Amino acid sequence: MKLIQAEKIAKGAEAVIFKGTFLQSPIAIKHRLPKSYRHPDIDNRIRLHRLRSEAKVMTNARKIGVSVPSLFGVDIEDHILIIESLEGKLLFEEMNSLPIDKLDPIFVNLGHQIGLLHSNDIIHGDLTVFNVLIQLEDKLSIIDFGLGKISNELEAKADDLLTFYSTLKAIQPASNILFNTFLEGYLSVYPEGKNTYEQMKKIQSRARYIAREDRLE
């Protein structure tokens, strides 16, 4: 009998995803294939580095009680991660269908989870509305730690906030309210996060053509 049964379901930017079962639990297999568009040396370096960080970050996040898929296995040689497969809808989809008052508790909870990650020096690296899975009401999981890392650097944490703010802004113009809700949750579990927020504004001010109304005061 095969231990693992799986079939290809999606091709993401980072990897090909297979879904199946492992000892009857639903799993996702994330296979980082080489990218034809980058130099093989850069490609190998990046894929190996990210595989290791992703495994480490997911394990650490789970330990501190943040809802992330569990890690079942790592195959360093073939660049494969075997992780728990979670059901749910992307926050991106929910933002298009749910009214704003239903989104409020989601953003507070998301703020909590990210605050918890940051207070433990865990960086998501690609914190967008495409990487948050809404399961029930305000129950959510954070997925895809492909660009994750362990770091106590203020800049890295601030990058997480800025990435989240920017993608939020990109899909919903009236997103300042939602971001503030997120920030409330974030600061409630991670009071030092006010420094992260200050740093985020600094990074933002380095960018080109930030309109006055978009500058966070």
By C-beta, is 33 or 70 nearer to other proteins? 33
How distant, in Å, are the alpha carbons of 131, 148, 186 from that of 30?
A: 15, 15, 29
**Is 126 a known active-site residue?**
yes
Give the residue, chosen from 53, 109, 141, 163, that forms a contact with other proteins under the rule CB under 8 A.
163
Q: Which residues pair with 141 in a beta bridge?
A: 133
Give the residue, chosen from 24, 39, 101, 136, that forms a contact with other proteins under the rule CB under 8 A.
39
By C-beta, is 171 or 216 nearer to other proteins? 171
Residue 133: its H or E element: strand 132-136
How far is the C-alpha of 70 from the C-alpha of 83, rounded, in Å?
Answer: 6
Give the residue, chosen from 5, 9, 11, 188, that forms a contact with other proteins under the rule CB under 8 A.
11
By C-beta, is 12 or 191 nearer to other proteins? 12
* Residue 20 near residue 29 (C-beta atoms within 8 A): yes
124-140 per-residue burial string, b: 16 or more CB within 10 A, e: under 16: bbbbbbbbbbbeeeeeb
When asked if residue 94 is in the footprint of other proteins (CB under 8 A), the reply is no
Choice among 43, 126, 138, 214 that is catalytic:
126
Query: Interface with other proteins by CB under 8 A: which residues?
Result: 11-14, 35-39, 41-42, 45-46, 92, 125-128, 130, 147, 159, 162-163, 166-167, 169-171, 173, 203, 206-212, 214
